[in-house]
Amino acid sequence: MAIDWYNAFVDPTYRPERDELICLFYFEPAAGITKEEAAGRIASESSTGTWTTLHTLPPRMKDLQATAYSIEGNWLKIAYPLALWEEGNAVQLLSGIAGNIFGMKAIRNLRLVDVTLPQAYIRHFKGPHFGMEGIRSMMKCHDRPLTGAVPKPKIGFSAKEHAEIGYETWMGGFDFVKDDENLTSTPFNRFEDRVKWLTKMRERAERETGEQKSAFLNITADTETMKKRADLLAAAGWNYAMIDVVVAGTASVMTMRDYCSDLGLAIHAHRAMHSTFDRNKRHGITMQFLAKLMRLIGVSQIHTGTAVGKLTGSKKEVTVLADILREKKTGEIEHMLLEQDWGNIKTAFPVSSGGLHPGLVPDVLDIYGTELILLVSGGIHGHPKGTRAGAMATMQAIDAWCEGVTLEEKAKKAKELAGALGKWGHYKPK
Ligand code: CAP
Ligand code: MG
């Protein structure tokens, strides 16, 4: 009797069924292991198999086996029967396709690049509550990027100081104030106090500008605490909650999607910790997959990068991430993206943030167009004339792009923008 049966999971003649999940992996076999042997192990251990032949193997098991059906160089496609997966349980999906296989000795490197989710799988998920259109109606803003900023320095302000900076941000024309990913409820800035002070400042800014204003207050904590904080936000008339979705974990984000939806709260998803697993091009999980998972679960928006700012992510990656969130259907891009039809799942906003300032706004809008959330934080608070002038300079930069004129041209009549260009020009932080 053979020791193992991994080759039973490899079939280059196999053609996937319409209701099967398809995964694209990048893989490198360990020394002495062929690509077929490695592929068999990946398909086997992420579905029904194990390292050795078994005494008893009920025939129906065959129908549950995943099949490695395409091996092109170091690129592998595997088809997974629908019956393997619990309806509506994205956490279980990760246990399968992002589980043990990443630790196999026979695989030197493995990267989960993307997955095609069939309608038969997607229909068990609700997706985003509002969709981009719903967010735009909620914010009464339809013809430009939505804008926001995090008070900087990231953490250290009292709740009152934080809210006063928020007021200046709103008065400069921005739509949102955002907590930083590491600001939750610290001794010097308690969540409850921040809600109280920001609510006061929001009402004042809305009264004085006549514009709809909002904020992404960070509720990240254990799930029960997140529920209590979401209740507080809804009670104070807010329409958003922010969650660090990677560190909070897929299970709690699923719970909070429904909880926030019932409260009428959109979810702003920060992706802190994503770079621990998506930056290495040979091992880990891509941001494409994370963005897809979060749209499926139902966040309203998630960070997708700038290509020109201080954090990693190429122009191509950023563009692909925006499509994953905004498009009804996406086509295959070799070695990067599998085709996807989202069916009734609503859209989500890409969020561009990280080292941006007014001088980089045209670069970002050239990539994204106007369908995004643009977060410029250090890039407004660092303005020579302060936060409100920095926000005004950013709005002027957006106007310049929409009018098709250069920033320098616009700055002739826009002193805040001139001030920003004077300090940063078109500097790309690194
Ligand atoms: C940006 C930011 C965001 C990053 C997250 C920061 O501040 O608040 O957390 O953009 O990265 O803490 O760095 P600045 P990403 O605008 O002052 O740089 O968007 O890539 O997920
Ligand atoms: Mg931050």
pLDDT 10s digits, 36-50 = 999 999 999 999 999
pLDDT given at position 272: 98
User: Which residues are the active-site residues?
Assistant: 152, 270
Tokens (6 digits) for 152:
């900087």
Nearest atom of ligand 1 to the alpha carbon of 381:
17
Mean pLDDT for the stretch of residues 123-146: 98
Q: What share of the chain is helix, strand, coil (3-state, %, to 5)?
A: 45, 15, 40
**pTM score, whole prediction:** 0.97
Residue 199 pLDDT > 80: yes
pLDDT given at position 43: 98
Strand stretches in 185-239, DSSP E: 214-216
pLDDT given at position 337: 98
Ligand nearest to the CA of residue 149, numbered in listed order = 1
Instruction: Calculate how far, in angstroms, residue 274's C-alpha sits from the geometric centre of ligand 1.
Output: 13
Residue 429 pLDDT > 90: yes
Please list every protein residue whose CB sits less than 6 Å from any atom of ligand 1.
150, 152, 154, 180-181, 271, 303, 305, 310-311, 353-356, 377-379
Quote the CA–CA distance of 96 and 83 in Å, as a whole number.
Answer: 13
pLDDT 10s digits, 218-255 = 999 999 999 999 999 999 999 999 999 999 999 999 99
pLDDT given at position 2: 82
Instruction: Calculate how far, in angstroms, residue 311's C-alpha sits from the geometric centre of ligand 1.
Output: 8
Ligand nearest to the CA of residue 304, numbered in listed order = 1
Residue nearest to atom 1 of ligand 1 (CA): 354
Tokens (6 digits) for 315:
């122009």
Mean pLDDT for the stretch of residues 117-132: 98
pLDDT 10s digits, 306-329 = 999 999 999 999 999 999 999 999
pLDDT 10s digits, 66-100 = 999 999 999 999 999 999 999 999 999 999 999 99
**Percentage of residues in the chain having pLDDT higher than 90:** 98
Residue 3 banded pLDDT, cuts 50, 70, 90: confident
Tokens (6 digits) for 122:
């997607």
pLDDT 10s digits, 369-380 = 999 999 999 999
Instruction: Calculate how far, in angstroms, residue 270's C-alpha sits from the geometric centre of ligand 1.
Output: 9
Residue nearest to atom 2 of ligand 1 (CA): 354
Residue nearest to atom 8 of ligand 1 (CA): 180
User: Shortest CA distance to 80 belongs to which of 4, 30, 25, 5?
Assistant: 25
Quote the CA–CA distance of 375 and 428 in Å, as a whole number.
Answer: 15
Q: Average pLDDT over the chain, rounded to whole?
A: 98
Ligand nearest to the CA of residue 279, numbered in listed order = 1
Residue 421 pLDDT > 80: yes
Residue 1 pLDDT > 90: no
With the most atoms of ligand 1 within 8 angstroms of its CB, the residue from 377, 383, 428, 430 to mutate is: 377
Instruction: Calculate how far, in angstroms, residue 280's C-alpha sits from the geometric centre of ligand 1.
Output: 20
Mean pLDDT for the stretch of residues 286-311: 98
Mean pLDDT for the stretch of residues 134-146: 97
pLDDT given at position 365: 98
Mean pLDDT for the stretch of residues 281-297: 98
Residue 275 pLDDT > 80: yes
